[in-house]
Amino acid sequence: MELALIIDSASPEPLHQQVYSQIRSAILSGRLASGQRLPPSRTLAKSFNLSRTTVTQGYDQLISEGYLQTRPGAGTYICSQLPEVLLVAGPIKPSHQTVVNIPLSAYGQRVNQSSLRPLRKSYDISFRYGHPALDLFPVELWRKLLSKHCRATIQWLNYAQKSYGHWPLRQAVADYLKHSRAVRCTPEQVIITSGSQQALSLITQLLVNPGDSVAIEDPGYRGARHIFKSNGANLLPMPLDRNGLIVDTLVEGDDTPRLVYVTPSHQFPTGALLSLPRRLALLQWAWQTGALIIEDDYDSEYRYGGRPIPSLQGLDSHASVLYVGTFSKVMFPSIRLGYLVVPDALVNVFGKAKWLADRQPPTLTQYALAEFIKAGHLERHIRKMRLCYERRRKTLVQALYQHFGQDVKILGDSAGLHVMAKLPLNLSDDDIVARAASVGVEMCSAQIQYEVPHNTGEFVFGYTAINEDQIEAGIDRVAKALRT
C-alpha cells in the first residue's frame, strides 16, 4: 500500500512527528480505514528518503496511543477501536434519557420530590428576601485580609488538622455570641459549617431517624423543612400567632417530636418574636420530654429601634438547644460559613460528621474571617447596615401604605431583612406575581413557606439589597400594574 505523506525536511517540526501526525490525521479523517495494513517501516522510509528510525519512532507513538497495533509476523495495522471514539463523548441518545432508569435511594427519591426553587430569572427590581446589600460590604478590606493571610504562610493550602474549624475563628465566634447574643458556650462547642444549611443537615443526620417527628413553624423556613423531609422525618407543622410558635400545641406522649425547629428572634417569614413566657414554656417542655430545640438565629443582628433579643440557648440549663447561625446575612451568602453551637456531649460526633460531609471549612476564608471579627470589623459593618436597613424598611412600609391603603397588614416586629405583608386584593398570588413580573418587579408569595397549603395574599418583601429609590419605584410599578 502507498501512503501519501508530505514530509518537509525544512519544517521545524521533527520528521518523526510529521510521520506521526500525518498518519494520525489520515486515520481520523477516514482516509485510512481500521484494519488496514501499513507499509513496513523500511519501505516507508525508502519511499520518503527517511531513516528507518524516524519512521519507527512515528509508528511507535501511534502504537502507544492506540491508533496502530502490530501483529507478530504480519505487520502493522490500524486499530479497529480508535482512542478518539473512546474518549470523545458522543451526543446523548434519547434512549439514555428516557429508557435508562437509574434507581435512586429512598433519600434520593425524597430529595427529588422536594419542591426546591428553580433557577431564578433576573428582574429590574427584586424584592427577593434574605439578600444583604452586597454593594455596601467592605470588599477592599476583605480582599486585603485574604491576601495578607494568603501570603503569610502556605499552611492554608493543606488539609486542616481538625474538621470543626479554625480554632481562632471558633474563639472569635464564641466571644461574639456571648456578648452579642447571650449564648452560653465555650469555643470547643462551636463548629464551623458551610452556612446554616449544612448545620441543619448535620443535626438532622445525627439526631433524626426516618419516621421520627420534627415540629416546625408553619409557615416556616422551607430550607430547613426540606432537609427534615428528605431525611425521612415526619413533619408536625405548628401554628403561630404574633408571639411566635404556640408552644401549648406541642404534644407529649408517643408522638413527641424528636426536634423542634424555631426562629425565635425573628420568625421566618412572619417576623414574630417568640415571647419570653413562650420561650420558657418551650424550654420547660423540652426538658420534660427530652426533645431537642434547633434555634436558627439567621438574622437576629438586625433589630431596629430596640435592643437585640437574647438567644433562647442562653436561657437553657439542660443542654436542650442546638444553636445555628450564619455569616450569609451579616456578610455575604457566598462566604458559605456558618456555625453550630452544640452541647459538650455532641461535639465529637458533630466533628466526625463534618469530616464525612466535606472534611473541613475552607481555611483561608476562616483566617480572614477570624481577623475580621476580632478586629471589630464585623460589628462595625453590622452597625452601619442596621442604619441603612432601617431606612429601607421604613421606605418600604410607607410605600406599601401609600399605594395599598391602611388595609395592608404588615406582619412582624421591626427586625430582620424582610417584611411580610398581606395585601388587600382580590387576586390570586400567582396573578399578583405575574403582573409584577410584567413590569420588571419580582415579588415573592408566602405560599411556598407553608407546609399546610394556604392561599395567602401574603408576600415576603426583601428590602435590604435594593436602595430607597428602587423600593419606592418597585412598589409604585406593582400598584399600577395591579390597578390595570
Ligand X SMILES: Cc1ncc(COP(=O)(O)O)c(C=O)c1O
Contacting residues toward ligand X, per CB under 6 A:
130, 195-197, 221, 223, 263, 268, 296, 298, 326, 328, 333, 338
| Distance of closest approach, residue 328 Cβ to ligand X, in angstroms | 3
Q: For residues 471 and 400, what is the distance between their CA atoms, to the nearest angstrom?
A: 10
Matching residue, cell 520518503: 48
Strands (E), 303-416: 321-326, 338-341, 409-411
Of 320 and 326, nearer to ligand X (C-beta) is 326
Q: Residue 192 Cβ, how far from ligand X at the closest point, in Å?
A: 12
Pairing of strands 68-71, 75-78: antiparallel
DSSP 448: G
Q: How far is the CB of 268 from ligand X (least distance, A)?
A: 4
Distance in Å, CB of 270 to ligand X, minimum: 12
How many CA atoms, within 13 angstroms, populate the side-chain half-sphere of residue 76? 22
The one-letter amino acid code at 371 reads E
At 292, list the grid cell: 431537642
**214, amino acid identity:** V
With the C-alpha atoms ordered 77, 83, 86, 90, is the resulting torsion angle positive or negative? Answer: negative
Q: Report helix angle 195-207 to 222-230, nearest 10.
A: 30
Nearer to ligand X, 67 or 298 (CB): 298
Minimal distance, residue 67 CB to ligand X, in Å: 51
CA 280/CA 277 separation, integer angstroms? 5
What is the three-class DSSP state of 411?
A: strand
Q: Shortest distance, CB of residue 14 to ligand X, whole angstroms?
A: 56
- Whether 147 contacts 156, CB under 8 Å: no
257 or 338, CB closer to ligand X? 338
Nearer to ligand X, 68 or 466 (CB): 466
Nearest-angstrom CA–CA distance, 404 and 438: 19
The nearer residue to ligand X, 338 or 474, going by C-beta atoms, is 338
**Which CB sits closer to ligand X, 195 or 314?**
195
Residue 251: CB atoms within 10 A of its CB come to 14
Measured from the CB atom, is 62 or 294 closer to ligand X? Answer: 294
- Residue closer to ligand X by CB (options 130, 219) is 130
* Torsion angle of the four alpha carbons 28, 32, 36, 42, in this order, in degrees rounded to the nearest 10: -100
Q: Tell the smallest beta-carbon distance from residue 193 to ligand X (Å).
A: 8
- Scan for cell 477570624, then name that residue: 370
In angstroms, give the least distance from the CB of 247 to ligand X: 19
User: Whose Cβ is closer to ligand X: residue 56's or residue 194's?
Assistant: 194
Round to whole Å and give the CA distance between 366 and 164.
11
Bridge partners, residue 37, by sequence = 77
CB 9 within 8 A of CB 15: yes
Question: For the chain, how far is it from start to end, CA to CA, in angstroms?
Answer: 81
Q: Give whichever of 58 and 269 is closer to ligand X, judged by the CB atom.
A: 269
CB of 90 to ligand X, least distance (A): 39
Residue nearest to ligand X (CB): 195
> CB of 451: closest distance to ligand X in angstroms?
14
Nearest to 421 by CA among 433, 409, 404, 435: 409
